[in-house]
A and B are shown apart, each in its own frame.
Chain A
Amino acid sequence: SQKIEQNSEALNIQEGKTATLTCNYTNYSPAYLQWYRQDPGRGPVFLLLIRENEKEKRKERLKVTFDTTLKQSLFHITASQPADSATYLCALYGTASKLTFGTGTRLQVTL
């Protein structure tokens, strides 16, 4: 069956450090992979999209990598700030043309 796995344990890092979140998937051949941010009690907000033929994408302090051989995406936030604390979701478009989400990883950035 298709699975999208993100580390369910919260990631705690110190302000200023780089946060790295992992998204692994099985039984997918996604053409696109997306990352969203979700704050408690709010809807997700789109952050970045990366295509299957792209290795890396950057946007300000965010960087996403996509390894279709390993079936993995890494999401990096450099120079983390307390305001970056949230749950980060990866999502895949599969052949069914539906966006399916992982369970998300909660990031907590402390001073």
Chain B
Amino acid sequence: GAVVSQHPSWVICKSGTSVKIECRSLDFQATTMFWYRQFPKQSLMLMATSNEGSKATYEQGVEKDKFLINHASLTLSTLTVTSAHPEDSSFYICSAPSGRAWGGELFFGEGSRLTVL
């Protein structure tokens, strides 16, 4: 299947700093990518939909100024957590659809574990 690569796999930062997470589709093009967040023993929660060449669409309750998403090319989307705080510590996972117009499976990255001290 298609491969989605995420980097870094884990990061520790101080409170107040910004952290950038990259999500790349390695062998296919993705006009749309999805960013999820997962807290321990909880489900994946969709944060935003990243659209190549246009603004991201954020889910209700997700601060767009805090979680900056840029989808500059057909193979790269980035999530920047600005002014991170301990409550932002979580497992962030990106995904991209298989290419089916709607309803197809998602290919997920390996996830990025963020710990804010």
Spell out A's residues near B (CB within 8 Å).
Answer: 31-32, 34, 41-46, 49, 89, 93, 97-104
Contacts and interface: CB of A to CB of B under 8 A. Distances in A.
B108 A43 contact: yes
Contacts, number: 45
B104 A49 contact: yes
Contact of A103 (B43, B91, B102, B108): B43
A68 B106 CA distance: 22
Given A102-B43, A104-B43, A32 B108 contact: no
A31 B39 CA distance: 28
Given A42-B110, A45-B108, A93-B102, A98 B46 contact: yes
B14 to A, nearest CB: 23
B109 to A, nearest CB: 5
B46 A43 contact: no
A93 B108 contact: no
Interface of B: 1, 4, 6, 34, 42-44, 46, 49, 91, 93, 95, 102-111, 113
Contacts of B42: 103
A32 B100 CA distance: 12
Nearest to B112: A43
A91 B96 CA distance: 15
11 contacts: A34-B105, A41-B91, A42-B110, A43-B108, A44-B93, A46-B105, A46-B106, A89-B44, A99-B34, A99-B106, A104-B43
Contacts of B91: 41
A43 B93 CA distance: 7
